[in-house]
Structure 1
């Protein structure tokens, strides 16, 4: 049963709900060489100076940024290692995991990311290093830890028309997939009685809207926009 059928079966309209986030056990997938390690190598190369060091710094800046793009996407179940940089950025945009200004800077860096044989300029390498540092550090900070639970609850006036008054969604990772598990609850003592569950797989339009909503609630940044995007995604189902 998909999420739309699940909500219809329980008479629950997620677009009418109040939303809260919580949890915090969902971390990023570890890579063999972390983006921070590539960033450290790039900084060491830049400090050493000279053409050879600048070339190495450029390469390691690219690896740090692309590695961070991949680490975020792989953490949420996307096979991004096969994707080009624009596709990686587009998916992170949909997930709400890049601040717009930082996103624009990374898009502007595509020349340094995609043209490997140009002679690097000192100023551009320094700027790229600054952007890479900001990106890698901000991504790491978001996952200490990432809020992996959303709770949708109906207002009192709407709850009287539905046996289910609360839905929680929890982010899960298994060896071969990432997904949200959705639980529906009827009112009762303590947390109420769970009356059903379903899953939302990585890549689903509502999966992306939920990740974006969690990130916005965590950062308290553009929450209304994230709520509107969630409602729009829900309406597409």
Structure 2
């Protein structure tokens, strides 16, 4: 049963809900070499000085950025290792996570170095390190921890057509899968009585909209846009 069938079955109208974060502790997947380790290598290279060190600093700054993109995508159930950088950034943005356009400057700089054998300029290498550092640190900060539970409720009983008062959706990572588990509740003791559940798999348009909504609510950034995107995703056939 998909989420629309689930809501119809429980007579729950998600378009008339209040939405709030419900906490959680969803963390990033581990990589063999972390983005922070590549960043540290890049900084050490830069400190040594000289042409070889600048080349290595540029390479490791790019590795820090690309591995951070990969870590975020893998954490949400994607398999991005063979994707090009523009596709990685596109999917990160669809999830509502930070991926500034400046990231391309570092990637392009590394490509010029690799394919045109241009000597990296000291100022541009320093800028690349700053961009990589800001991206890696901001991405890590979002996951200390990431609020992985969304709560959809009908505080006004006049909009209810069934007995379900609220729905919760929590992120899960299990056996290589990443998905939301959605629970419907009727009135009862404590948080209510669970009367049904379904799942939303990673890659589903609504999955991305829900991650984006969580990120926007956490950061208090472009919340109205995230709500609008969620409504559009839910209405998507």
TM-score relative to the length of structure 1: 0.95
- Which residue in 1 is equivalent to 2:167? 167
Tell whether 2:146 aligns with 1:149: no
Cα distance change on mapping 1:178 and 1:29 into 2, 3 Å:
same
Q: Match of 1:103, SS?
A: coil
Q: What are the superposed Cα offsets for residues 45-94 of structure 1, whole Å, 9 maximum, x if unpaired?
A: 01111110011001100110000000000000000111110000000000
Select the residue among 87, 97, 100 that pairs with 1:103: 100
Asked if the contact 1:34–1:67 (Cα under 8 Å) also holds between the matched residues in 2, the reply is yes
1:115-134 correspondence runs (5 A): 115=112, 116-117=114-115, 118-134=118-134
Determine helix, strand or coil for the equivalent of 1:203: coil
Partner of 1:10: 10
Paired residues of 1:159 and 1:165 also in contact (CA < 8 A) = no
- TM-fit CA distance, 1:159: 4.6
Structure 2, unpaired ranges of 5+: none
- 1:27-48 per-residue CA deviation (whole Å, 9 max, x = no partner) reads 0001000000000000010111
Where does 1:1-237 land on structure 2 (aligned, <5 Å)?
A: 1-98=1-98, 103-115=100-112, 116-117=114-115, 118-237=118-237
Query: What is the rounded CA distance, in whole Å, between the counterparts of 2:233 and 2:6 in structure 1?
Result: 16
Aligned residues: 234
Residue deviations 1:174-206, cap 9 Å, x none? 121100000001122321111110000000001
| Cα contact 2:62–2:106 (8 A) shared by 1 | no
Residue pair 2:26, 2:147 contacting (<8 A) in 1 also? yes
In structure 1, runs of 5+ residues without a counterpart are: none
In structure 1, C-alpha distance between the alignment counterparts of 2:66 and 2:158, rounded to whole Å: 46
* Runs of at least 4 residues off by over 6 Å: none
Q: Distance in 2 between matches of 1:135 and 1:219?
A: 15
**How far apart are the structure 2 equivalents of 1:114 and 1:198?**
45
Query: Is this contact kept in 1: 2:22–2:149, CA < 8 A?
Result: yes
Q: Show CA shifts across 1:98-151 (max 9, x none).
A: 1xxx51211343312434243322111111100000000000100000001000
Question: Matches of 1:20 and 1:219 in 2, distance apart?
Answer: 13
